Each structure stands twice: as structure tokens, then as C-alpha cells.
Amino acid sequence: KRIRNNIWKRKGYWVALKVFSLAKSLSTGNSKSFFVQQEINN
């Protein structure tokens, strides 16, 4: 159970990071470059 919780914490951290970077890019008006970055990463 502990190992699973750690994985979820890590996933939640990355999700929060992506949400933060998305909000940051939206507030600065760089939403297009953000989506381009996401496509490159995928």
C-alpha cells in the first residue's frame, strides 16, 4: 500500500506541475506554444 501511495503522490505532483505550467502559459498568453510543447512530448 505504501508503494502505491508513493506512485500516486508522484503522479499528483506531475499533474499539478502540468496544470501550473498550463495556467502560467495561459496567464502570459503562451497557450499555443504550451500545446505545441505537449504534442512534441507525446
Q: Where are the domains of the chain?
A: 2-41
- Tell me the per-residue pLDDT of 5-22, one tens digit each, with 9 for 90 and over: 887 788 888 888 888 887
Q: Give the model's pLDDT for residue 36.
A: 66
Q: What average pLDDT does range 9-36 have in this prediction? A: 76
Helix axes 31-41, 2-28, angle to 10 degrees: 140
Say if residue 33's pLDDT is above 70: no
How far CA 4 is from CA of 9, 13, 16, 20, 26, in Å, comes to 9, 14, 18, 24, 33
